[in-house]
Amino acid sequence: MLADGRARMRRKATAADLGIDLASKKEEEAFKWLLACLLFGKPIQTSIAAQAYRTIVAAHLCSPEVILRAGWDELVRLLDEAHYVRYDFSTATKLLEISEELKRRYGNVTNLIAQSNVGPVTARIFLREMRPHWRTSRTGAKKNGSR
């Protein structure tokens, strides 16, 4: 039974499952995918991580600035509302730290990917779908068909 539970927790959630349009190459969509990856990066059921993501997005916390303005108490409240209670405190803290660092040090998600190291599970989830869009948006080369 434990193995079944682990399999459920490790089901791959995609950006499309969550309504995130990475092909748009919009910074907000990239940030929403980073947010989702942070939530899915914990050993928690996929359905709970997805609900936490939807709850945060429904509260319009889709940028580092808005997450920072919302603050720790509001993030914990939203995570608890989504039943993401096992990791609510640590995740709220991580979301605030990453939002602050993203704003202060990198400016945007594209620069974060290019310049920093993130945890291996989070990075793997994030890059699995971001990589094809990120390569073309960083270089702009595929827009005109050249390399």
Secondary structure of the chain as H, E, C letters: CHHHHHHHHCCCCCCHHHCCCHHHCCHHHHHHHHHHHHHHCCCCCHHHHHHHHHHHHHCCCCCHHHHHHHHHHHHHHHHHHCCCCCCHHHHHHHHHHHHHHHHHHHCCHHHHHHHCCCCHHHHHHHHHHHHHHHHHHHHCHHHCCCC
Q: Which residue has the higher pLDDT, 137 or 100?
A: 100
**pLDDT per residue over 25-76, tens digit each?**
899 999 999 999 999 989 999 999 999 999 999 999 999 999 999 999 999 9
pLDDT of residue 25: 87
Residue extents of the structural domains in the chain: 2-18+25-133
**pLDDT per residue over 128-139, tens digit each?**
888 787 665 544
Q: Which CATH architecture has domain 2-18+25-133?
A: Orthogonal Bundle (1.10)
